[in-house]
Amino acid sequence: MVTDDSAPSAGSQSALRRANERNVLQTLRTLGPTSQAELARRVGLSRSAINGIVRSLQDSGAVDVRPGASGRETEVVLVGARGTLIAVDLGHQRLHGSVISFDTETRFDEVVDLGREHDAQADVSTVAALVDRLLERSGADRDSVIRVCVGLHAPYESLSRTISPSGILPGWEGLDVEAVLGERLGMPVHADNDANFAAIAEWTWGAGRGSDDLLYVKSSNGIGSGLIIGGRIFRGANGMAGELGHVVVDDRGALCNCGNRGCLSAVASGRALLLELAAAGAPRDSLQDVIADARAGDLACRRLLSEAGRYIGIALSHAVKLIAPSRIVLGGELSAAGPLVLDSVRQELDENTLQTISGMPRLELGLRRGDMCILGCAASVLAEEETGLSELPAWLLAPVGHRMKEYA
Ligand SMILES: [Zn+2]
């Protein structure tokens, strides 16, 4: 029998169809609710081809079609999330765990105070005990867990799966985080820097939605960042790309825990502002207090926030020249300061970034929530499973057992 190589076989046609479906799902994850006309434009297929793909995705329960906001055109939304995931946000003094079940539409959370003295061995035991408690309370079956996502408040080398020796999470240096936790929990573990997860959450559901190239800055006690380039987290050669907190912005500035002087984190983080106020004999307990006092007119607090914004602007202006992101999202507790910090970020960017015809990247404030790492874990697992949710449902925003911290 003679076969015609130019005609696609049934196998290659179904592979092509699957690739087109993946492309449509990925586009919906990036854009949120989208009309079929926009999907056709973005994916580069005809309206009738998109129509067929949407129908088949509707049959499999991955998407829904509903009246659009304008009332004129329908829009396609992702609805196909399934399974259970465990999200863990491991900080210097605080461990936040969450069991999220997309099957029962429930989320159970607990926060544990770790204190100042803890090491890797203690952390592993604390995480394991927390996961056990949350699974029991949620009633979720261990076997239904797709993955455990762990967000680490420390520079993380995703290639070697180790925390860089910065002393931020003591005792973890040199340990394979995924192997150590995976063995103890008996479940697959995926670890990443917490700012990378928060960037994914902003990109999927927040102020970064619809942008292909996003620079996310998380500024709370420390400063971290996550880079999304071409719709993917960018990690660089060793997995540590996007450490904006360790860009030197003042070579005479304070010493940083990484060993350099004047890193962004050492001069503009919440920790740095509290140290400066304490040294000036005007101590405050938290970054939130600094922001509240600045709003009430305290000049020292206003100056510190404005200077922090200027330093962030300096670091960002270098990043903008190198990467040219379409959007910058400022998240973390510092974002609650609004114009008190944003005005000086913007001014610094205006003065120190090359003027272009297409203009500056859009600068936005992120979602004002204390659980962005947890939400990012959820978004990342859904993307890996090639499914998703176009909108954050109410149950996912209001966990049982823990009052979610919202930035004012
Ligand atoms: Zn540093």
Query: What does the pLDDT read at residue 380?
Result: 95
Domain over 84-197+370-397 is classified CATH 3.40.50.300: no
The topology under which CATH files domain 12-78 is Arc Repressor Mutant, subunit A (1.10.10)
Q: According to CATH, where is 1.10.10.10 located in the chain?
A: 12-78
Q: What confidence tens digit (pLDDT) does each residue in 356-390 have?
A: 666 788 999 999 899 999 999 999 999 999 899 99
Query: What does the pLDDT read at residue 406?
Result: 74
- Type of residue at 300: A
Query: What does the pLDDT read at residue 1?
Result: 44
Domain over 207-365 is classified CATH 3.50.50.60: no
Gap from CA of 408 to ligand 1 centroid (Å): 29
Q: Which residues of the chain have pLDDT under 50?
A: 1-3
Which of 188, 181, 135 is closest to 162 using CA atoms?
181
Gap from CA of 225 to ligand 1 centroid (Å): 13
Gap from CA of 307 to ligand 1 centroid (Å): 18
Gap from CA of 4 to ligand 1 centroid (Å): 61
Gap from CA of 240 to ligand 1 centroid (Å): 13
Query: What does the pLDDT read at residue 2?
Result: 46
Q: CA 209, CA 364: separation in Å to the nearest integer?
A: 11
CB-count burial class (<10 Å; 0-12, 13-18, 19+) for 85: buried
Q: CA 127, CA 131: separation in Å to the nearest integer?
A: 6
Residues contacting 80, CB < 8 A, separation 6+: 57, 60, 61, 62, 63, 387, 388
Q: According to CATH, where is 3.30.420.40 located in the chain?
A: 84-197+370-397, 207-365
Strands 145-152 and 189-193: parallel
Gap from CA of 222 to ligand 1 centroid (Å): 10
Q: Which residues surround ligand 1, an ion (CB under 5 A)?
A: 246, 256, 258, 260, 263
Q: Cβ(40)–Cβ(46) under 8 Å?
A: yes
